[in-house]
């Protein structure tokens, strides 16, 4: 080899060795910085320029004459290094929990919180158990801006027919210093929000517990959903306002409430103003008990108003007078879907009338005598297991009444008139025509049993069947003239809402009030307001000699003798 070539090889080899050593030193230095020391007992020694390469240190040269060692294993520096166990443990460790959230979790196990609404506490436990973010309402500087917005809105609860005094809130200017104090403030606001949501949906009282007439169940919002939605909302105050009913009458009543309170502050007559305010609050509460979706087309029978309305897309397309049940046989308040309209229906005497009026006298053999003259007088037939039989052939003292039915065939004397509107319900209540037209003359129209009678049933059938089937009026008229217990099933069931609103706001903003004929206003007021003023059974503007004035504060009638009671009951049924 030429001398210059040999020198070049030596120089190149030396540079390669220096480069390898430098790379090893750099790599070990970086590793020392990026990874914590596993132990402090053996300090690391920086390699010098003469330190063997890592490969040489790992695989020392064998002594002379020894066999060649096995090839380098996969654990050699040229292969990826094995995972550091300490690094794996660090990755598996969960992120530290925010101290306020940790304190909230602990405090929610306190039995003191179990004294509240269990569903609310359970919802909070579920919400914070999985929350990795900071608290919902607290910041290092105290309550957040969103928390202040929620607190301010709850403080305006009176404007929405609720009571701000019912909600325990953290002080808006409070600056809790410890995680425990912050947890208490956060939980307090959470519980106030969930209570507000429940009250906004009508959860202050269970209507069915106030009266057997109130077959209504408010649609309460799941507290877990409330927490999730308000946490995601950019404006908690707007979210809280959105929880109230969307019905137009609710908002009209609210505006009337704000005006009435303003008038009261200006020195209006206090007793009348207080009663007016209570009536507005009571009827706002009733709207919270209504279904959120009334239906695109629905029927409303407002009992205290003695009026029926058909509403389509929020606009009234038909209205009519109705007769409701008298106090002893009050019309229940509920919602159900109309499914069938029956033309020239057969009438089956309701079980209550059979049980309370017919059966006792049939068994005593008194009022009906031997031939059951009242049955023949009104065309009532007796059916045994569906077969028409002679009333005189039945032993009324021993017969199983489950096999007996009293019916009246279609005809000019049928108490149901020409039409019956069926919306199946547990009360066995329906709407129908009546042969006694004079029932619609008085202003107060509470008479007979609990089924609702309307003045213009044919028009109601025309409106409903036009909406449901596109029928012309002539098709309805033909069935009225020729049908014989002929049912027509609706293609799309139409909701029927039997309501008890004693205050309604017109398009002009004027409030119309109606008599509390069943005495329900005071019960609702006591339950949701904690107090009640006297409410008349008649409308406020009813004069002393008006039909409605006849029932105001009237004492309960004395119990009649069985014969007189049945006669009066049957007269009421037949419109006399």
Q: On the CB side of 386, how many CA atoms lie within 13 Å of its CA?
A: 0
Distances in whole angstroms, Cα of residue 348 to Cα of each of 353, 386, 534: 10, 12, 40
Q: Which of 86, 103, 81 is nearest to 35 (CA)?
A: 86
> If you ran DSSP here, which 8-state letter would residue 516 be given?
-
Structure tokens at 229: 């939605």
End-to-end CA distance of the chain: 140
**By 3-state DSSP, what share of the chain in percent is helix, strand and coil, each rounded to 5?**
45, 15, 40
Residue 271 within any structural domain of the chain: no
Q: Which of 151, 192, 193, 153 is nearest to 174 (CA)?
A: 151
**CA–CA gap between residue 58 and residue 27 (Å, rounded):** 16
> If you ran DSSP here, which 8-state letter would residue 379 be given?
T
**CA–CA gap between residue 293 and residue 497 (Å, rounded):** 11
Structure tokens at 367: 């009022």
Residue 127 within any structural domain of the chain: yes
Q: What residues pair up with 336 in beta bridges, in sequence order?
A: 496
Spans of the chain, pLDDT less than 70: 1-94, 264-272, 364-374, 540-576
**CA–CA gap between residue 216 and residue 205 (Å, rounded):** 11
Mapped onto helix, strand or coil, the DSSP state of residue 362 is helix
**CA–CA gap between residue 515 and residue 541 (Å, rounded):** 10
Calculate the dihedral angle through the C-alpha atoms of 173, 178, 182, 188, rounding to the nearest 10 degrees. -90
Contact 51, 28 (CB under 8 A): no
Residue 473 within any structural domain of the chain: no
**CA–CA gap between residue 90 and residue 87 (Å, rounded):** 5
Q: How many CB atoms lie within 10 A of CB 321?
A: 17
Residue whose entry in the numeric block shows the structure tokens 């695989």: 59
**CA–CA gap between residue 498 and residue 459 (Å, rounded):** 19
Residue whose entry in the numeric block shows the structure tokens 């799941």: 222
Q: What residues pair up with 407 in beta bridges, in sequence order?
A: 348, 381
The crossing angle, in degrees rounded to 10, of helices 457-469 and 473-482 is 130
Q: Which of 564, 23, 530, 558 is nearest to 285 (CA)?
A: 530
**CA–CA gap between residue 167 and residue 523 (Å, rounded):** 23
pLDDT for residue 62: 46
pLDDT for residue 51: 40
Overall domain count for the chain:
1
**CA–CA gap between residue 179 and residue 288 (Å, rounded):** 38
Q: Which of 565, 329, 341, 569 is nearest to 454 (CA)?
A: 341
Residue 416 within any structural domain of the chain: no
Residue 139 within any structural domain of the chain: yes
Residue 154 within any structural domain of the chain: yes
Mapped onto helix, strand or coil, the DSSP state of residue 463 is helix
Residue whose entry in the numeric block shows the structure tokens 């039989």: 389
**CA–CA gap between residue 563 and residue 176 (Å, rounded):** 76
The boundaries of the domain holding residue 123 are 99-212+219-244
Contact 194, 120 (CB under 8 A): yes
**CA–CA gap between residue 4 and residue 386 (Å, rounded):** 129
The crossing angle, in degrees rounded to 10, of helices 118-129 and 223-232 is 50
Query: Which residues, other chains included, contact 286 with Cβ-Cβ below 8 Å and sequence gap of 6+?
Result: 499, 500, 501, 524
pLDDT for residue 266: 61
Q: What residues pair up with 64 in beta bridges, in sequence order?
A: none
pLDDT for residue 264: 63
Q: Phi and psi (nearest 5°) for 152?
A: -60, -40
**CA–CA gap between residue 557 and residue 40 (Å, rounded):** 100
pLDDT for residue 86: 53
pLDDT for residue 48: 38
Query: Which residues, other chains included, contact 113 with Cβ-Cβ below 8 Å and sequence gap of 6+?
Result: 107, 121, 187
Residue 320 within any structural domain of the chain: no
Contact 476, 461 (CB under 8 A): yes
Q: Which of 336, 276, 163 is nearest to 502 (CA)?
A: 276
**CA–CA gap between residue 494 and residue 298 (Å, rounded):** 6
pLDDT for residue 537: 81
**CA–CA gap between residue 140 and residue 179 (Å, rounded):** 10
Structure tokens at 83: 């995972």
Residue 161 within any structural domain of the chain: yes
Structure tokens at 498: 């039997």
């Amino acid at each position: 080899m030429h001398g210059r070539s040999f020198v070049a090889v030596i120089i190149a080899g030396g540079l390669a060795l220096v480069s390898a050593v430098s790379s090893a030193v750099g790599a070990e230095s970086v590793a020392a910085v990026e990874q914590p020391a596993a132990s402090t007992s053996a300090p690391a020694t920086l390699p010098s320029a003469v330190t063997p390469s890592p490969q040489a240190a790992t695989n020392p040269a064998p002594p002379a004459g020894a066999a060649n060692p096995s090839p380098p294993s996969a654990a050699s520096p040229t292969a990826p290094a094995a995972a550091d166990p300490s690094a794996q443990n660090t990755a598996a460790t969960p992120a530290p929990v925010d101290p306020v959230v940790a304190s909230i979790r602990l405090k929610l196990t306190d039995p003191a919180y179990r004294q509240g609404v269990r569903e609310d506490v359970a919802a909070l436990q579920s919400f914070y158990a999985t929350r990795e973010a900071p608290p919902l309402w607290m910041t290092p500087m105290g309550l957040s801006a969103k928390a202040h917005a929620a607190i301010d809105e709850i403080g305006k609860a009176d404007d929405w027919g609720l009571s701000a005094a019912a909600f325990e809130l953290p002080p808006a200017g409070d600056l809790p210093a410890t995680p425990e104090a912050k947890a208490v403030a956060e939980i307090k606001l959470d519980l106030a929000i969930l209570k507000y949501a429940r009250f906004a949906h009508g959860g202050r009282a269970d209507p069915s517990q106030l009266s057997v007439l109130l077959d209504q169940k408010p649609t309460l919002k799941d507290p877990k959903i409330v927490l999730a939605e308000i946490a995601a909302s950019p404006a908690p105050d707007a979210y809280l306002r959105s929880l109230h009913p969307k019905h137009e009458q609710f908002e009209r009543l609210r505006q009337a409430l704000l005006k009435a309170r303003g008038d009261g502050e200006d020195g209006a007559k206090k007793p009348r103003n207080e009663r007016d305010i209570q009536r507005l609050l009571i009827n706002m509460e009733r709207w919270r008990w209504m279904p959120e979706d009334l239906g695109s087309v629905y029927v409303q029978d407002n009992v205290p108003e003695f009026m029926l309305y058909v509403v389509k897309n929020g606009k009234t397309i038909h209205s009519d007078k109705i007769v409701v049940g008298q106090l002893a046989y009050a019309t229940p308040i509920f919602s159900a879907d109309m499914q069938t309209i029956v033309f020239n229906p057969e009438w089956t005497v309701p079980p209550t009338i059979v049980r309370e009026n017919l059966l006792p006298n049939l068994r005593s053999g008194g009022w009906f005598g031997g031939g059951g003259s009242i049955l023949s007088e009104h065309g009532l037939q007796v059916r045994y297991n569906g077969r028409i039989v002679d009333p005189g052939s039945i032993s009324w003292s021993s017969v199983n009444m489950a096999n007996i039915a009293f019916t009246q065939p279609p005809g000019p004397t049928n108490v149901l008139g020409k039409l019956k509107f069926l919306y199946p319900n547990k009360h066995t209540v329906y709407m129908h025509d009546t042969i006694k037209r004079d029932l619609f003359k008085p202003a107060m129209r509470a008479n007979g049993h609990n089924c609702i009678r309307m003045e213009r049933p044919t028009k109601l059938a025309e409106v409903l069947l036009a909406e449901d089937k596109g029928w012309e009026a002539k098709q309805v008229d033909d069935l009225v003239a020729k049908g014989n217990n002929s049912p027509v099933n609706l293609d799309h069931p139409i909701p029927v809402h039997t309501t008890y609103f004693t205050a309604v706001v017109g398009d002009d903003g004027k409030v119309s009030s109606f008599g509390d004929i069943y005495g329900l206003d005071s019960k609702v007021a006591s339950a949701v307001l904690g107090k009640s003023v006297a409410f008349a059974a008649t409308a406020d503007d009813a004069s002393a000699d008006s039909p409605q004035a006849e029932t105001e504060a009237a004492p309960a009638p004395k119990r009649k003798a069985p014969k007189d009671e049945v006669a009066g009951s049957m007269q009421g049924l037949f419109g006399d």
